[in-house]
Amino acid sequence: QIVDLDVKRNRNREALRALHKDAEPEGKAMVCFGNMFIELPKAQTKEMLRKDQESLDEEISKLRKELRVKVNRLFEAQGKPELKGFNLNPMTAEEMKLINRILEG
């Protein structure tokens, strides 16, 4: 599911980039919805793609968080020990700044 959503996210990103590069910013763009094409204003198309990107990012993040729990349950069911370091989260930019200050210090 994560891979499928990521493929869709990449396609949306490519479409946004193509619309951004277009020499004619006003006008209409052909958009595929299922098995039909609809001509929409480019501004509306860009906004729809941005909203779709945001929802895809949220869904992917949610699935990744759930994946950790599911992997731990799988290991528990198999009688294997829990993965160490698997529940780690990346440091924020502010935390990295503080660490760099301490190390320079």
Please tell me the least confidently modeled range out of 11-15, 25-29, 61-65: 25-29
Closest CA to 33 of 48, 22, 18: 48
Q: Is the pTM of this model over 0.85?
A: no
Closest CA to 80 of 89, 88, 71: 71
Cα–Cα distance measured from residue 27 to residue 45, given in angstroms and rounded to the nearest whole number: 11
pLDDT value, residue 96: 94
3-state SS, residue 35:
coil
Residue-range domain boundaries for the chain? 1-104
pLDDT in tens, 31-53: 888 899 999 998 899 999 999 99
> For residues 31 and 37, is the Cβ–Cβ distance under 8 A?
yes
CATH number for region 1-104: 1.10.287
pLDDT in tens, 62-93: 998 888 888 888 888 988 887 776 667 788 99
